[in-house]
Chain A
Amino acid sequence: MRIFAYAVAGWLVLVGAMGILRSRNLIQATVSLSVAQSGTYVLLLAIGYQWEGRAPVFSPGSTPTSDVVDPVVQAMALTDIVVSATVTALLLALTIQIEKTHHTVDPDKLQQLKG
């Protein structure tokens, strides 16, 4: 339990990288990249977790306490998610553009085209 959360974060990065490697389609490579990036969210939130800690949001009606999970890593994870979405959008747009000029989205065939 002590390291299980960190191990899962590492596994996500690794399996995502493997997906990029074995992809035969640039869309699959992009999706795999976003899986790899989700490993960083898990890592960040795992670092900030505290047993029995509450969420760092003191909604109206609740009393503030210092026994909360770390809000700083949560803010970073939030930024991470938004950046991941913008990267995915750009890569998908590039995929569409590559398909228009080279008529294929297979990375291996694209490499052959360059010679």
Chain B
Amino acid sequence: MSAVLIVVALTLVAVGATAVVFTPEPARQAVTLSVFGILLTLLFFVLQAPDVALSQLVVGTALVPLMVMLTVHKINQRHR
């Protein structure tokens, strides 16, 4: 059972990473990065690492995408 969960979570993470890298626009990348963060969180839970999962959730799903979004906003503002 856990083997199936791990394979599914790993596959989702691999697909998610590819999606983030091939997202053309930085503004959309902030969103895909956030989704990728959730997928990593799931994987870490399945791998019995709740501490790491919690860390990934707050940093990778909230903090980093927020900083990316604010940077995109700042740069688009100046190019209008």
Count of chain A to chain B residue pairs whose CB atoms are closer than 8 Å in the complex: 127
Residues of B contacting A32 with CB < 8 Å? 20-21
Which residues of chain A come closer than 8 Å to B67, judged between CB atoms? 88-89, 92
Q: What sequence of 0s and 1s flags, for each residue 11-26 of chain B, a beta carbon within 8 Å of any chain A beta carbon?
A: 1011001101110001
Report whether B59 and A85 are in contact in the complex, using a CB–CB cutoff of 8 Å: yes
The reply to whether B21 and A105 contact each other, CB–CB distance below 8 Å, is: no
For window 60-95 of A, CB contacts with B under 8 Å fall at: 68-69, 74-75, 77-78, 81-82, 84-85, 88-89, 92, 95
Q: How far is the CA of A25 from the CA of B55 in the complex (A)?
A: 28
A15-B17, A45-B47 given; 8 more Cβ-contact pairs under 8 Å? A19-B22, A25-B26, A32-B21, A34-B60, A34-B64, A41-B56, A55-B49, A55-B50
29 A-B pairs with C-beta separation under 8 A: A8-B13, A11-B14, A11-B17, A16-B17, A27-B71, A28-B29, A30-B68, A31-B33, A31-B68, A32-B20, A35-B33, A38-B17, A38-B36, A38-B40, A42-B43, A49-B48, A54-B48, A55-B50, A57-B50, A68-B48, A69-B47, A77-B44, A77-B49, A77-B52, A78-B51, A81-B60, A88-B67, A92-B67, A99-B74
